[in-house]
Amino acid sequence: MDTVISKRELNHQTAAVLSQVTATDDVVITERGQRRWRLSAIREDETPLGRLEREGRYTPPVVEPAPWPERPGGRPYTDAEVDALRDEMRGEH
């Protein structure tokens, strides 16, 4: 959970505030009661999606997607059916 402090507190106790920034927790700084800035530790191995997930702005899929069908579409068509469909599309029916 993020720690929330005021800009004034940051100005007066910078070292103490920076010590609250950890690999898992950020410090949010407010100005006049409004959230304005976020201090976070540099995470060298973190990916952009990992950062978004940590911030609660991205949720990865829960399950693996369904595999592609071995044979997409419906039933196989005979050569005569394919010819009839082609003639119909060309207006030769």
Residue 36, SS3 per DSSP: strand
Per-residue pLDDT, averaged over 67-91, amounts to 86
- CA atoms of 93 and 87, how far apart (whole Å): 6
DSSP code string of 5-29: EEHHHHHH-HHHHHHH--SS--EEE
- CA atoms of 35 and 28, how far apart (whole Å): 7
Instruction: Express as a percent the part of the chain with pLDDT over 90.
Output: 38
CATH number of the 1-60 domain: 3.40.1620
Contact of 2 with 27, CB cutoff 8 Å: yes
> How sure is the predictor about 68, in pLDDT bands with cuts at 50, 70 and 90?
confident
Per-residue pLDDT, averaged over 68-82, amounts to 84
Contact of 85 with 77, CB cutoff 8 Å: yes
Q: Sketch the domain layout of the chain as residue ranges.
A: 1-60
